[in-house]
Each structure stands twice: as C-alpha cells, then as structure tokens.
Structure 1
Amino acid sequence: MNAIDPAMPLAIGRLDPEGRLTDAESRLIELNERAGGAVGAPLAVPQIATLARLARRLGIAISRNVIAADGDEDLELWVRAEPTDEGVRLEVSGWKPRAGWRAPASEPEREGDFFRSAADWLWETDAALRITFLSIEAGARYGFDSSAMLGQPLTRLFSLEQDESGNLPILTAVAAQARFDGQKAELRGTGRMVRLGASPRTDPGGRFAGFVGATTMIDGTAPAPTPDAPLPPLAAPFGGFPDSFSQRLDRALRGPLSKIIANANSISAQTEGPVKPDYADYANDIANAGRHLLGLVDDLVDLQAIERDDFTTLQEPIDLADVARRAGGLLAVRAAQSDVRIDKPPIEETFPVTGEFRRALQVLVNLIGNAVRYSPRGGMVWIRLERDGSMAHVIVADQGKGIAKEDQVKIFEKFGRVDPSEPGGSGLGLYIARRLARAMGGDLTVDSAPGMGARFVFTLPWRRTDDS
C-alpha cells in the first residue's frame, strides 16, 4: 500500500462488484450522502465511481488526484482504488477545499495561456527538473532523440539564457513555485533559439512536483507569437479550407494527442505496475493510432503551408551528412523493432549544401521511415552521399519489394498510394517531400523495379567551401 501522509485525513470505503457502496468511514459516507447516495446504493460521487470502475476493469490499483463537488465548494481529493475479490477498496485522503469560483485571469496569465496554445511543442519535468514528457513530434522536427531525453535534466536539452536583470526566469519560478514565461534558451546542438513557459504542478500534499511547459521557436524559421498577432488571411489554397484552419487544428489536437500517446506508452510499458497482457496490447494499439493521427495532423499543416503561393524555405548552410545521420538516429528504435539495420554516413564525412535544416531533416526522416517500413526483417537501409557538379545527392536505398515503373509517378501525387490496403500514412509524405526538395532548389526522384528494392535520390545545391 502507498504510504499516506498522516496530516491528510483518510477515509476507507468498499464497493461491491456492481459499484454499490457497502461500507465506509463517516467522512466518505457523508460526502456520498451530500451527493445524493446512500450505503447499499451505487456510489454517487462520479469522479470516485469512475476511478473505481477503471481500477476494476484494468485489474490494477489506481491512484489519482480528483476534484469533487461538495455543495458550493469543490474538494480536492487523492483517491486510491484497488480491486479485490469482493469489489473495490477505496482510500480517500486530501480533503482540501477549493473555491468553486475563480477570479478572471490577469493579463499576464492570459498571455501565458496564449503562449502555450500557440507553442511548437510541449514538455514536462519532475521536481528536480528532469524531463518526464516531450511532444512526440519535437525530436523529429528539430533533430534530437526525444526518447533519449526522458529522465535527463532540462538543461541537457536547453542552454538557458539570463534575462535583462541577469536572472533565469525558470529558477525564479522554481523558488516561488510559480508559473513563468519568456525564458530564452538555445536548443542545444542546433544554434536555434526558443522561448519557454510553464505552469507548476503540485503533488497531493501541495508540494512542488515539476512543470508543465511549452516551447516556441523564436529564430527566423518560427518567430515568437504575440497576443495581438493577426491570423493569416482567409485564403483557401486547398480543399476550400482557410489558411488558419490547419493552425487551429494543429493547436487543438497536437497537445491532447501527444498526451494520449505518452500515457498509452506508459501503460503498455507497465511503468506504473503490471497490467493484464490484453490491456497492455490495447494501450500499444492506442499509442500507434495516436501516432498515426499526429502524422496526419503534421501532413495537413505541411500540405497547407507548401501550397501557399508565398511559401519559401530558408537558404541555410547545412551539412547534409550530419542531417542524414540525425535522421537515421531518430529512426533507429523503429528500425530495431523491425529488425532492420540503417547504414548511415560515417561520422567524419561532411557534405556542405544549401537548404533549410528542418525541412531537409523532414524529407530524410520520411524517406528513411518509408525504407524501414517496406524492408524485410533482417534487411538493410543504406544512406549514401554523392556529388554531381553543382548538386549534392543523398541516396536512401532499401531491400523492399520495389515499385513498378507505372507506379513511380503515382507515389509522388497528392494522396497517392500504390496499394491502399497496405499499412502506411496518408499518401502525402512523398508529395510533401518532393515539394520541399524543389522549394530548396533541389529535387526528389526514385529508381526502382519490382523485386529490386527502391532507391530514392534527394538533391540539394552544393555549397562551396574553402576545401571544395
């Protein structure tokens, strides 16, 4: 049993298999009666009853913070529900009153809420500022391994900068156990600047338990949002949807989907304790479905962006060999799960080109991900670099079943799928990748035949250096 803080009143109760309250200590009985229930009847406090049903269905003990209505007040409770042979055993502690009415948010709070809603990606930490959650899309978009960052100090990912007063807003917030906005930092290893903001979390005893935070890119690729920034004009570049539609959809879905994926992964991995094998499998299915939906959101946002008349990419000096190694690293876990090996360029190899780092990484993650998906178990994906005069080529080759000549045009079409019955994405990945390659002054082509695997060639302009 979990240790209970003696300062928190504890009330124990029991439910039968149908969810009826069979007996309880007086504090819990009184709360249930004020909610309209009685001993021998179904538990009338919906938040506690829901937790009890979940514990019984999963066959495991569940502990969770809940807010329950109690007359004109709300009560903050910590509930532990444990399934037994007779039903469910409840332990209810905390019993902290919370005002049912909340004063209107101040202007700084409203600005902070806007900042989080418009963020590029989300993160969470524990009380020691170790990373416990990262939006799944963060690493793929910005060139780091999200899974490797879990459990690492926040400063492993961000190099924090002092404000004009010489202070670090995040440390001031830790000391005050308060929210903060406007912490500038460098995303380590990329030279890209970000702005961080977060709200504190507390445990059942009211102690500081970490931050729930958001990140917004503030370099030239993604300027920092402001509360007064106007929405894009209501043009409709594709499908009849206004430009702002995909942005609003992105904001509405990205955070919840990332949470669903993270929690489903946690259940599947049984990090909080054992669950029935069937439920671990269900959780893994939920995580996979969440990743699929998040990929569709990414594709929709990118599709609407690249089809705008004014779409452009940055012209940055980048090392294509480094980008290829990063893309291969991001897909290493997926490849290992499929028993596929990725042969990346050697660490000493460099390949100077001109393009946009984030977009080049996006193209290569798509190509390598496809190669892994269609490779047989025990297969290999090769990444090779070649130069042809003023152009540089990165070649991604696999040992899959190959693509027939008549299908090679189709795979680059919008929503183009050779075999819709096969597992895969939305049919937008290669269409978007080719549009991005051409926007950067390059191209994306394929060379393949049935039974001979596929060979995708991503081209960008060569960048002359002192050595080339």
Structure 2
Amino acid sequence: MRLDGLPDVPVSHATLDCDGRLIAADPALMALNDQAGGALGDRLAVPQLATAARLASRLGILVSRSVRVADQDADLDLWVRVQPEGKGVRMAVSGWREVRPQPLAARSTIVLDDEDMGWETDAGLRLTFVSIDAARRFGVDALSMLGQPVTALFTLDAAGDGALPILEAVARRKPMREQRARLRHGDVRMVLTADVKQDAAGEFAGLTGAARAAEAEAEPVAAAPAVSASFTQGLDKALRSPLAKIIAHADTIHAEAEGPVQRDYVDYASDIANAGRHLLGLVDDLVDLQAVERSDFSLQTEPIDLADVARRASGLLSVRAGNAGVAIARPLPDLRVPAAGDFGRALQIMVNLIGNAVRYSPEGGVVSVTVTRNGSMAEAVVADQGKGIAPQDQERIFEKFERVDPSEVGGNGLGLYIARRLARAMGGNLTVESTPGDGARFTLTLPA
C-alpha cells in the first residue's frame, strides 16, 4: 500500500496508551501503521515510532527525534515528537519526505573452502557471525564469540613493517588480504581475508571474511602498506569534534545542569559519556601507535622529576579512584627523583599504569605508587591489590591488541604496548612482576 500524497501532510497525530497500543490516529499515521501490519487497538507496528513512544513513556519526558521508516520501494524521513499525556502518550509526526535509498554494496566476493571458518563483524568490529561447524573443528564455541570484538577470536599479527592490514582495510574501505593472525583458542596460526561491507548510505558497516589455517610452507606474504599518517589524521578530524560534543551533551544531562532528569536517564547519559571517552582514548592510541612504529621515531629527553610526574598522574586519577572506592598512595610532596625523559610521555605512561591499577583493584583496595633511584636508573613502581597476572601472560600483555581477558571491561590492548615503546625510546623500560591472586607491580625505569 503506497502512502500517496503523504509528503504534503504537515503534521499527523496519534494517541497511544501506557502499553503502546494505538488508540487513535490521523489517516496518514493510520495508513503507515496498517502497512506495517498493525491495527487500531494493537501495539504500534512501526518500530521506529514505537521505540520513541516507549522511551517517552518510560522516562516521562518529551522525546523528539528524526527517524527513517521503510515504505516499500522508498523510505520516509519523519520527525517524531512524543509527549507523555495522562496514562499514555501523544505523538505528532511531521516531515514525510520520501527518500530513494542508495543500492547496497555488492555482496562479498569471499569464497569459503571446506576448511575455512567464515566470520563477519559490524561497524565496531564486533563479531556478528562465526561458522559454527568450522569453529567447532578448531575447538571454538562460535555462539560465545558473538558480540565480542574480533580480537577475542583472533590475535592479530603485524606485518614486517609493523602495519596491520585490518586497520588499513577499515581506513581505506578496501578488501583485506592476508592478515596474519593466531586463533586465541589453541594458538593456531591463521590467515584472514575479508571484504568491506557498506550500508545503504555507502558507510562502513563491517567486514565479512574467511579464516584458514596457515601452512608452514606458504610463501611469504607481501607486506601491506603501513598505516599512514593521513589515516590517523583523518580519524582525529572525523571523530574528535563530534565525540567531544556527544560527551559534553551527555555530561550536561548527567549533571542535570538544565533541570531534574529521571534517574535511569541520568545513568544512561553517564554511559554515553563514558563510551565517548573510551572512543576518544582509542583515537589517541591509534595516533600514538602510528607514531611509535615509525622507523625514525625518537624522543627528545630533558631533566625531569619522576616523583613529580608520579604525583601528577596520581592526582589526575584521584576522582576516578574515589568513585571506584580505591585509594592511591602517592609519593611524598618533598620527594625528588631526577631522571632524563620526555615529561609528557612519562606522564602518559604513569597515567596508563595507575589507571589500569585502579580499574583492576577491588573496592577498598590501595594502589601504591613509589619512586626511587636504583643505581644509574630512576624507578617508578605502581602496585595494585588485584587478581594478578599469570606468568604466561606477563609478556603477552605488552604485545599489540593483547589483553589477559578480552571479555572484561577495559582498554583496547594498545596502552601497555605503546607505554613500553615510549619507555624504551627514552632509554628506559617497562616491566611487570605478578603472582596470581596477589596483585601486580609495574616498574617504569628511566635513566637517572
């Protein structure tokens, strides 16, 4: 049923009860609901409109947003405004602009052999499909992988020049060929290939690929071009400004700066702000990753006070620690431990170490930050009271995109890799000592 003439409708109204059932509607909205299989007295059948109605009813606030609704061979761009009213909600829909969707990108050209394991991701590189039978042959539970980042299934190996073909594929929107990897379960060496998926608007929508066991006699894989500076600059330009706006608006809602907001909506805003900060951190890490892996990367060192750096890093994380119920024992104010290094990079390393310690410390725990001189080196030690790190994982955590438990809430597996590269670029090192169940001690050394 075509909605002929509806683009000329200025505003169409509807009334819904507290359970989302349609009580009354103007002809335009009634026709749209009928086309979606709904009827008067039943729940609103247009998903985008029903979602806005549920949100307004649950939070008790006005919801106003743009939505796109499928209408046979075209889409409708609508503006929906939903206002709680009595025990139900009142909806006003305007816009009614018809949009002809762009054709979807061609299907993947990846051809799976009998021994290959198929996989797909969404735009956030989270797994949406893993071949069940093929995964079972490798001892992997395919269903448990769904929703996990692709790095929960594969450990990605860099090419000879330090580049990761998967990042190049995402950045340049081009097929990924010969990404070397290891299956986390059983440490089987794999070769990944993938095509880029696009949505109807031509935007990146994920990867669809195949994984096959690497053969020992396979010919050397040609190295993909390194992740270029233009890639990280593009990320910075494309993501930093909109993410900053999202975080600012979410923080405003969370702080109730413009008036009281229902508690669950406040918490929702806090989640949005935290997710935005996580993405900004990922952008920063990718920019740093591109820098530290250049063959000519170096740092200009100067005299710094490592104790002062440790105190500043502790101060920067004091609010986060307080919110988590964790105390930070920092160096005394009059302690001085001269060292040679880059102040900003040393601070970055200490913030990373203390932040990790706070994240993995139990409530009521203490993160100890001490700085001493040891012969010709200055040492800063960050010790926590967390669950510790198994011996076999203590070197692995310094590798790229590696985390002890990818299912845990945390970083992206780049922080410690970058921190160690920075420490060594300053003539020092970053190491860890840990006993499972007895916390971990990370030691940053710099020339004294």
Query: TM-score, normalised to structure 1's length?
Result: 0.51
Aligned counterpart in structure 2 of residue 261 of structure 1, from 238, 243, 247? 247
CA contact (8 A) 2:387 2:438 kept: yes
Question: 1:265/1:58 Cα in 2 relative to 1: closer, same or farther (>3 Å)?
Answer: farther
CA contact (8 A) 2:354 2:367 kept: yes
Amino acid aligned to 2:237? R
What is the rounded CA distance, in whole Å, between the counterparts of 1:334 and 1:256 in structure 2? 24
- How far 1:360 moved relative to its partner? 0.7
Aligned counterpart in structure 1 of residue 445 of structure 2, from 449, 459, 467? 459
Tell me the secondary structure at the aligned position of residue 422 of structure 1. coil
- How far 1:39 moved relative to its partner? 13
What is the rounded CA distance, in whole Å, between the counterparts of 2:22 and 2:292 in structure 1? 54
- Aligned twin of 2:416: 430
Are 1:410 and 2:396 matched, yes or no?
A: yes
Question: 1:240-279, aligned counterparts within 5 Å?
Answer: 240-279=226-265
- How far 1:281 moved relative to its partner? 2.8
CA contact (8 A) 1:395 1:456 kept: yes
- How far 1:378 moved relative to its partner? 0.6
Where structure 2 has 5 or more consecutive residues not aligned to the other structure, the ranges are 1-11, 33-48, 67-80, 93-221
Are 1:356 and 2:342 matched, yes or no?
A: yes
Question: 1:253/1:450 Cα in 2 relative to 1: closer, same or farther (>3 Å)?
Answer: same
1:215-259 per-residue CA deviation (whole Å, 9 max, x = no partner) reads xxxxxxxxxxxxxxxxxxxxx998743221011111211121122
1:239-291 per-residue CA deviation (whole Å, 9 max, x = no partner) reads 74322101111121112112222222332333323333332332222222222
Aligned counterpart in structure 2 of residue 296 of structure 1, from 278, 282, 299? 282
Question: 1:3-402, aligned counterparts within 5 Å?
Answer: 16-17=15-16, 56=56, 59=59, 83-85=84-86, 87=89, 240-402=226-388
Question: 1:438/1:39 Cα in 2 relative to 1: closer, same or farther (>3 Å)?
Answer: closer
Question: 1:372/1:39 Cα in 2 relative to 1: closer, same or farther (>3 Å)?
Answer: closer
Question: 1:347/1:239 Cα in 2 relative to 1: closer, same or farther (>3 Å)?
Answer: farther
- Aligned twin of 1:109: none
RMSD: 4.0
CA contact (8 A) 2:310 2:347 kept: yes
- How far 1:438 moved relative to its partner? 0.6
Question: 1:237/1:250 Cα in 2 relative to 1: closer, same or farther (>3 Å)?
Answer: farther
Where structure 1 has 5 or more consecutive residues not aligned to the other structure, the ranges are 1-12, 24-36, 43-48, 67-79, 91-235, 463-468
Number of matched residues? 280
What is the rounded CA distance, in whole Å, between the counterparts of 1:275 and 1:15 in structure 2? 25
- How far 1:300 moved relative to its partner? 0.9
CA contact (8 A) 1:20 1:40 kept: no
Query: TM-score, normalised to structure 2's length?
Result: 0.54
What is the rounded CA distance, in whole Å, between the counterparts of 2:260 and 2:273 in structure 1? 18
1:421-467 per-residue CA deviation (whole Å, 9 max, x = no partner) reads 222111111110000001111111111111221111101111xxxxx
Question: 1:454/1:57 Cα in 2 relative to 1: closer, same or farther (>3 Å)?
Answer: same
Are 1:443 and 2:444 matched, yes or no?
A: no
CA contact (8 A) 1:55 1:83 kept: no
Q: Percent identity, aligned pairs only?
A: 59
CA contact (8 A) 2:371 2:381 kept: yes
- How far 1:354 moved relative to its partner? 1.6
CA contact (8 A) 2:56 2:62 kept: no
